[in-house]
Amino acid sequence: MRVRVRLFALQRELARTREVSLELPDGATVETSWASIVALHPVLAPGRPSMRFARNGEYADPSAALADGDEVAFIPPVSGGADELRSGAGGRSRGADEPSHPRRILELRETPFGTEILAQLADRLATDEDGAVVGFLGRTRRSPGTPAPGQEAEAARHAGRSVDSLGYEAHETMALGVLGTIADEIAERFGVEALAIVHRTGDVPLGEVSIAVVAVAPHRDAAFQAARYGIDETKARAPIWKAERFADGHVWIGEPARTGPAAEEPTR
């Protein structure tokens, strides 16, 4: 069988390629594809403990069987890390209001947006039945974050320096699918149907906005819970990678991705 393997972030840089086509034997698994890629690019081997995998745009166990024509994505540590779940339950963009969910806005945008996006999203989502709008903005800060596994030495080289900008990379179709799953969970857990999650890709300079989350509901408790769940789960699960850029280099930031809600995370 022939499968397509996609590489992202640190693994893409180490292998110096975004994509590899593999010929694999019948009965091959996701783990087989990893072993085959490591044979071609041994420099990737140390990244296995923090690696997650996807098959055809959905998280998959390493033992998952492959078929001819499959796409396998190697998912290195994602931008926000695997935070514990809290108690309780403009320009060109990809993603849009889903036809079956007219009060849902899930997008990746390449062009900048500012703080005004909260009002714009609220105006698009809220109705006269809604008494609460909760918004969250994430923005580039000067101080560095926690380096991804394998980036410790590079982070030490930039110790004491200020971050100039952030660079975001995404598996875009999969990221939008994960955002849709998170939105479904929010509707089920908190009864909040009106939700927006808009994330930047590309370069985001110091002080500029990288993500906006807006939750709209009749009552404030549900809106607060929905917004918090939305940002926490996006950062922990969406295949979106963040590099902190300095004057003479960059450091990939994050922790291994969670493949589902914290309570459902499988043992690895």
Q: What is the pLDDT of residues 168-217, one digit of tens each?
A: 999 999 999 999 999 999 999 999 999 999 999 999 999 999 999 999 99
Per-residue pLDDT, 79: 87
User: Which pLDDT score is estimated for 264?
Assistant: 54
Report the pLDDT averaged over residues 113-127.
Answer: 97
pLDDT per residue as tens digits for the range 5-60:
999 999 999 999 999 999 999 999 999 999 999 999 999 999 999 999 999 999 99
Q: Across residues 68-81, what is the average pLDDT?
A: 92
Residue 110 confidence class, pLDDT cut points 50, 70, 90: very high
Determine contact, residues 150/253, Cβ cutoff 8 Å: no
Specify the pTM: 0.89
- Give the span between the Cα atoms of 108 and 199, in whole angstroms: 5
Phi, psi at 23, each rounded to 5°? -100, 120
173/79: higher pLDDT: 173
> What number is the average pLDDT over the span 134-154?
95
**Residue 188: what pLDDT?**
97
Tell me what the mean pLDDT of segment 134-159 comes to.
Answer: 95
**Predicted confidence band of residue 262 (pLDDT cuts 50, 70, 90):** confident
Question: If 0-12 CB within 10 Å is exposed, 13-18 middle and 19+ buried, where does residue 169 land?
Answer: middle
| Weakest-pLDDT range from 24-33, 136-145, 258-267 | 258-267
Mean pLDDT (whole number) for 235-239: 97
Q: In the predicted model, what is the mean pLDDT of residues 138-154?
A: 95
Residue 177 CA to residue 156 CA, distance in Å, equals 35
- Mapped onto helix, strand or coil, the DSSP state of residue 132 is strand
* Structure tokens, 46: 């140390």
Mean pLDDT value of segment 103-113? 96
